[in-house]
């Protein structure tokens, strides 16, 4: 059931209606039921996978918390133990908790690895040894990367004592399988989501309509813009015959498509939550206004970035081998460089993981590495930038900031071309052709009308882009557009919502003649 | 929530529904020029007199029989409930739909569509089904006809199907936003131009000549329904030779007819008896008859009807005379208009349905 399918729209309407009709205490069980129905509709087999993940996380976390409780009780009952004995006891409990943690991580990350990466490994190995690749027919449960990461984060938080275990299996099942976020995130943290997920919510016009408006905004971006420009992107990148200036066009189109697709999907997700009074983590903060790549990654797919930072970068940095390496490198390479070596290594691990998380293909590994290289180089050049800014006094000047934003968007868009072409060598060749075979004539000779988009499509895209840009600029300068509209007379507020609905219905790229387009991030 | 906000919600909702309705009316194809087949099914509901004979089927009925000739020569009040590539189950549901409004003495079904056992084309589905009034028959027709790319809700709200026509709207869409002109003559689609038959490719051998279960099942339902309602069913194969009608198919239909006690007439071998000259009586190289051919076919078939069925001659009945005179006038006017177009342009431009679009 795609978010953009009629079935989902009907399903959502029914869930929202039922949500406010049932007594508050039945709201979260209703959501669990709806979530499992949603997942079941995708495939009954998927349910098995999510149940295994939920059951393992629930059992392990309850056990770990029981061990913590038992430890406290034991130490309280045995105050006569000396320090060494207490330490030994704590160590023993810690070891047992760690064993549970490792078991849960191995099981869930193992399922993820086997379902998602088996064919990637086999393909890579067979191409190395020159054998014929025979893909294995495996079930890849929808949204497995998202719910696995979310669950793993929860288990680690319970292990670290940052989070109390959820002792209700069904409540945990809702956290893992909450249907709006199941297919493309955001990767929620238990502590944050659980605050509103299980609480009863009464119907409130403002909350509900805000959610509805955000859902409509998401559909507008996805159906009117992303799915319309998709035709052009597909024509330009498939087969790899469009080189030179066409690659530049494809790069900008894909940047636009991905933004509208992913942020549109997240708007629908968060909007559904809002309509039910449930707060989910924000995943975007105007990423295309970033002035450098580091800032961009702090604003794009935020929940994934923070997940990798909290559960890979920090634990890796604080691991014993890394501390030993840090000590060694400081002794042999000097304080300045010595400090950086572990950071470089941990960042490399994070970016490799980020790349492979996005897709089981070398393209994504190359994409991750390209991001890593650009971020590291820009960090290394930081002192140079500082001197440049100090001399030129450009920092803070509007034209320079615009230049920084455009540069960042172009750079990120170029790196993202690894997503588009079938392999790494072709990507490099096509991106290279942008610089060697750029023929600006395609912008004036009508060539861009022969890539599956006609004048009407360009008109819709231009107006749509202007609206998205306008909303983003307003948000950046003045804050929430919805709040501003809500402050106006109700007719204006609801009129804007109706306009969004009519525009989406009439100008959307959906129905017969259009391929039902999956959200790009659904595949992860 | 304050009363005024609720009022705003209500007003906005009403206005939105209104705007979406207007958009739906505007964006739905009008089928008034060029491809007019999408208008045919709905025109039936404008009929004011009952019909003694109803033809059901695809282009082999709505282009090959002239009800005007049946009226003029025999006083038979008839109607053709046909549309482009009308599949057997669509014919069945149109028959069900027709029987909600009247009970003719005779129903004539053309069997060519029996060769299709699966939904074929979304575009043809829409042209056949969109014009039907809502009823259980229409719902079942949609469910039986949908291709994989179609959704039931797009039939309920055609805006969801036709929303992307906004960039191709033309004068006709605005002109016929709320009303449509008739494009047929009691369901008959007129073409006066001539394109002689120059032969057809040899028929391809088929792996399996068995007519499909679904199509034959609906034919059985058609026969049962007619029996139940006391309507005589006649199965025919129109005299046009392409698409090829295999002997094996013919035998199966003949066996069905015998089993069910209904007549089956294959008119292909009777072309000479009918008086058809496929050098002058077809407008598209022998696929369909032109007006001259359709009149010959109706005259021949009318004689068969008169001979075998006790059909009243309605001429002289004031109500019928008035209605059919109006039809004859429209028929003759369109015929003149089409001949004028042929003379002016060498081909049909507006097919005589309306004034020629500039």
Whether residues A24 and A133 fall in one domain: yes
Higher-pLDDT residue of B2 and B350 is B2
pLDDT digits (tens, 9 = 90+) for B176-202: 999 998 999 999 999 999 999 998 888
- What distances in angstroms separate CA A123 from CA A351, A360, A417, B265, one per listed residue? 22, 10, 22, 63
Whether residues A18 and A124 fall in one domain: yes
Whether residues A172 and A242 fall in one domain: no
Residue B357 binned pLDDT confidence (cut-offs 50, 70, 90): very low
Higher-pLDDT residue of A523 and A327 is A327
Residue A286 lies in a domain: no
Q: What is the pLDDT of residue A289?
A: 93
pLDDT digits (tens, 9 = 90+) for A44-64: 999 999 999 999 999 999 999
Q: Which domains does chain B have, with CATH numbers?
A: 36-197+209-315 (3.40.50.1110)
Whether residues A149 and A182 fall in one domain: yes
DSSP classification of residue A225: I
Residue A370 lies in a domain: yes
**How close are the terminal C-alpha atoms of chain A, in Å?**
16
Whether residues A24 and A161 fall in one domain: yes
pLDDT digits (tens, 9 = 90+) for A223-268: 999 999 999 999 999 877 888 999 999 999 999 999 999 999 999 9
Interface of B with A (CB under 8 A): 1, 4-5, 7-9, 11-13, 15-16, 19-20, 23, 27, 122, 149-151, 153-154, 159-161, 163-164, 166-167
Q: To 10 degrees, the CA torsion angle through B317, B323, B327, B333?
A: 100
Residue A431 lies in a domain: no
Q: How many CB atoms lie within 10 A of CB A213?
A: 24
Percent of chain A with pLDDT over 70: 98
- Point out the domain boundary residue: A203, A221, A254: A203
Whether residues A125 and A69 fall in one domain: yes
- What distances in angstroms separate CA B244 from CA A452, B90, B272, B294, one per listed residue? 37, 22, 18, 20
Residue A473 lies in a domain: yes
The whole domain housing A407 covers 302-415
Q: What is the pLDDT of residue A394?
A: 83
Residue A199 lies in a domain: yes
Question: Does the structure show a pLDDT above 70 at B1?
Answer: no
Residue A121 lies in a domain: yes
DSSP string, A493-510: HHHHHHHHHHHHHHH---
What's the whole-number average pLDDT of chain A? 91
- Point out the domain boundary residue: A187, A203, A219: A203
Nearest to A242 by CA among A254, A252, A233: A233
**Cβ neighbours of B164 in A, within 8 Å:** 509, 511, 513-514
Question: Does the structure show a pLDDT above 60 at A414?
Answer: yes
Beta partners for B82?
Answer: B57
Whether residues A10 and A77 fall in one domain: yes
**Cβ neighbours of A497 in B, within 8 Å:** 12
Residue A181 lies in a domain: yes
Question: Does the structure show a pLDDT above 90 at A379?
Answer: no
Find the angle CA(A272)-CA(A276)-CA(A277) to the nearest 5 degrees.
110
Domains of chain A: total? 3
Residue B355 binned pLDDT confidence (cut-offs 50, 70, 90): very low
Residue A498 lies in a domain: yes
Quote the tokens at residue A271.
């909007």
Residue B273 makes CB contacts below 8 A (sequence gap 6+) with B300
CB B115, CB B156: distance < 8 Å:
no
Q: How many CB atoms lie within 10 A of CB A520?
A: 18
pLDDT digits (tens, 9 = 90+) for B255-275: 999 999 999 999 999 999 999
Q: What is the pLDDT of residue B331?
A: 96
Q: How far apart are CA B326 and CA B319, in angstroms?
A: 11
pLDDT digits (tens, 9 = 90+) for A190-233: 999 999 999 999 999 999 999 999 999 999 999 999 999 999 99
Q: What is the pLDDT of residue A332?
A: 84
Q: What is the pLDDT of residue A122?
A: 86
User: Across chain B, how many H-helices and E-strands are there?
Assistant: 15, 5
Q: How far apart are CA B254 and CA B345, in angstroms?
A: 45
**How close are the terminal C-alpha atoms of chain B, in Å?**
55
DSSP classification of residue B33: S
User: Between A245-275 and A227-237, two packed helices, what is the crossing angle to 10 degrees?
Assistant: 150
Question: Does the structure show a pLDDT above 90 at A488?
Answer: yes
Q: Which of 90-109 (A) contact B at CB < 8 A? A: none
Rg (CA), chain A: 25
Q: Do B27 and A506 touch (CB under 8 A)?
A: yes
Whether residues A225 and A257 fall in one domain: yes
The interface pTM score, or ipTM, of the predicted complex is 0.87
- Point out the domain boundary residue: A203, A237, A252: A203
Quote the tokens at residue A233.
């992107």
Q: Which of 187-246 (A) contact B at CB < 8 A? A: 205
pLDDT digits (tens, 9 = 90+) for A257-308: 999 999 999 999 999 999 999 999 999 999 999 998 889 999 999 999 999 9
Print the SS3 string covering B88-139.
HHHHHHHHHHHHCCCCCCEEEEEHHHHHCCCCCCHHHHHHHHCCCCCCHHHH
Nearest to B54 by CA among B86, B82, B73: B82
Residue A396 binned pLDDT confidence (cut-offs 50, 70, 90): confident
Q: How many CB atoms lie within 10 A of CB A61?
A: 26
Whether residues A262 and A338 fall in one domain: no
Question: How would you classify the pairing of strands B78-82 and B264-266?
Answer: unpaired
Whether residues A356 and A232 fall in one domain: no
What's the whole-number average pLDDT of chain B? 93
Question: Does the structure show a pLDDT above 60 at A70?
Answer: yes
Residue A516 binned pLDDT confidence (cut-offs 50, 70, 90): low
pLDDT digits (tens, 9 = 90+) for A4-44: 999 999 999 999 999 999 999 999 999 999 999 999 998 99
Whether residues A181 and A32 fall in one domain: yes
Q: What is the pLDDT of residue A154?
A: 97
**Cβ neighbours of B124 in A, within 8 Å:** none
Whether residues A193 and A49 fall in one domain: yes
Question: Does the structure show a pLDDT above 50 at A170?
Answer: yes
Residue of chain A whose Cα is closest to the Cα of B168: A456
Nearest Cα of chain A lies from the Cα of B157 at a distance, in angstroms, of 11
E strand spans, A307-368 = none
Q: What is the pLDDT of residue B358?
A: 39
């Amino acid at each position: 059931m795609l978010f953009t399918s009629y079935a989902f729209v009907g399903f959502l309407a029914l869930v929202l209606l039922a949500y406010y009709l049932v007594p508050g205490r039945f709201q979260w069980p209703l959501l669990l039921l709806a979530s499992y129905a949603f997942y079941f509709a995708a495939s009954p087999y998927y349910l098995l996978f999510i149940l295994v993940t939920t059951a393992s996380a629930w059992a392990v976390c309850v056990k770990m918390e029981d061990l913590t409780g038992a430890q406290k009780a034991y130490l309280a009952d045995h105050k006569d133990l000396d320090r060494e004995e207490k330490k030994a006891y704590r160590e023993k409990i810690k070891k047992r908790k760690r064993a549970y943690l490792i078991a849960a991580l191995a099981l869930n990350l193992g399922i993820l690895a086997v379902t998602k990466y088996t064919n990637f490994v086999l393909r890579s190995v067979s191409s190395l040894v020159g054998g014929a690749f025979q893909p294995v027919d495996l079930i890849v449960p929808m949204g497995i990367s998202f719910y696995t990461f979310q669950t793993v984060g929860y288990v680690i938080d319970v292990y670290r004592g940052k989070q109390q275990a959820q002792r209700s299996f069904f409540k945990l099942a809702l956290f893992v399988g909450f249907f709006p976020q199941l297919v493309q995130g955001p990767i929620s943290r238990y502590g944050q989501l659980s605050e509103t997920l299980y609480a009863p919510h009464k119907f409130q016009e403002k909350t509900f309509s805000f959610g509805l408006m955000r859902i409509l905004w998401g559909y507008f971006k996805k159906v009117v813009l992303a799915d319309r420009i998709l035709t052009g992107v597909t024509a330009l990148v498939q087969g790899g015959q469009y080189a030179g200036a066409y690659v530049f066009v494809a790069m900008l189109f894909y940047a636009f498509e991905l933004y509208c697709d992913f942020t549109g999907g997240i708007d629908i997700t968060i909007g559904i939550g809002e309509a039910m009074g449930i707060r989910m983590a924000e995943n975007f903060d105007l990423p295309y206004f970033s002035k450098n790549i580091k800032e961009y990654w702090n604003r794009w797919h935020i929940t994934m970035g923070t997940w990798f930072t909290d559960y890979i970068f920090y634990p890796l940095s604080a691991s014993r081998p890394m501390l030993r390496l840090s000590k060694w490198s400081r002794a042999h390479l000097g304080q300045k460089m010595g400090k950086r070596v572990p950071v470089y290594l941990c960042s490399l691990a994070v970016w490799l993981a980020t790349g492979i998380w996005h897709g089981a293909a070398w393209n994504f590994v190359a994409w991750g590495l390209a991001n890593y290289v650009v971020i590291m180089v820009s960090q290394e050049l930081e002192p140079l930038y500082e001197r440049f800014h100090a001399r030129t006094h450009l920092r803070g000047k509007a034209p320079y900031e615009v230049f920084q934003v455009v540069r960042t968007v172009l750079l990120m868009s170029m790196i993202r071309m690894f997503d588009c072409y079938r392999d790494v060598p072709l990507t490099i060749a096509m991106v290279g052709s942008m610089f060697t075979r750029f023929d600006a004539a395609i912008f004036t000779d009508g060539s861009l009308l022969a890539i599956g988009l006609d004048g009407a499509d360009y008109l819709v895209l231009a107006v749509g882009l202007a609206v998205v840009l306008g909303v983003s600029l307003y948000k950046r300068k003045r804050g929430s557009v919805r709040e501003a509209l809500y402050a106006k007379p109700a007719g204006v507020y609801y009129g804007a919502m109706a306009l969004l609905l009519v525009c989406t219905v009439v100008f959307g790229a959906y129905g017969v003649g259009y391929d039902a387009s999956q959200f790009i991030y659904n595949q992860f | 929530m304050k009363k005024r906000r609720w009022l705003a919600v209500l007003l906005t909702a009403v206005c939105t529904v209104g705007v979406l309705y207007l958009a739906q009316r505007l964006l739905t194809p009008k089928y008034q020029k060029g491809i007019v087949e999408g208008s045919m099914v709905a025109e039936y509901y404008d009929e004011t007199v009952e019909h003694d004979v109803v033809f059901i089927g695809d282009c082999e009925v709505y282009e090959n029989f002239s009800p005007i000739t049946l009226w003029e020569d025999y006083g038979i009040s008839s109607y053709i409930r046909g549309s482009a590539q009308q599949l057997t189950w669509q014919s069945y549901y149109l028959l069900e739909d027709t029987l909600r409004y009247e009970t003719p003495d005779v129903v004539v079904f053309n069997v060519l569509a029996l060769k299709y056992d699966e939904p074929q084309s979304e575009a043809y589905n829409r042209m056949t089904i969109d014009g039907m009034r809502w009823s259980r028959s229409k719902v079942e027709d949609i469910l039986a006809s949908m291709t994989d790319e179609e959704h039931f809700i797009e039939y309920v709200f055609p805006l969801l199907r036709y929303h992307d026509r906004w960039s191709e709207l033309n004068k006709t869409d605005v002109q016929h936003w709320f009303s449509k002109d008739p494009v047929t003559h009691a369901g008959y689609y007129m073409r006066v131009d001539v394109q002689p038959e120059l032969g057809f490719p040899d028929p391809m051998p088929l792996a399996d000549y068995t007519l499909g279960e679904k199509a034959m099942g609906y034919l059985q339902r058609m026969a049962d329904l007619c029996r139940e309602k006391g309507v005589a069913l006649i199965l025919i194969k129109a005299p046009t030779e392409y698409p090829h009608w295999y002997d094996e198919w013919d035998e199966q239909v003949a066996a069905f007819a015998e089993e069910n006690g209904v007549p089956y007439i294959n008119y292909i071998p009777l072309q000479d008896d009918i008086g058809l000259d496929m050098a002058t009586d077809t407008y598209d190289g022998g696929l369909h008859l032109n007006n001259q051919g359709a009149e010959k076919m109706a005259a021949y078939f009318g004689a068969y009807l008169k001979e075998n069925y006790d059909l009243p001659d309605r001429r002289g009945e004031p109500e019928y005379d008035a209605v059919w005179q109006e039809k004859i006038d429209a028929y003759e006017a369109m015929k003149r208009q089409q001949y004028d177009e042929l003379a002016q342009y060498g081909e049909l431009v507006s097919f005589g349905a309306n004034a020629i679009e500039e």
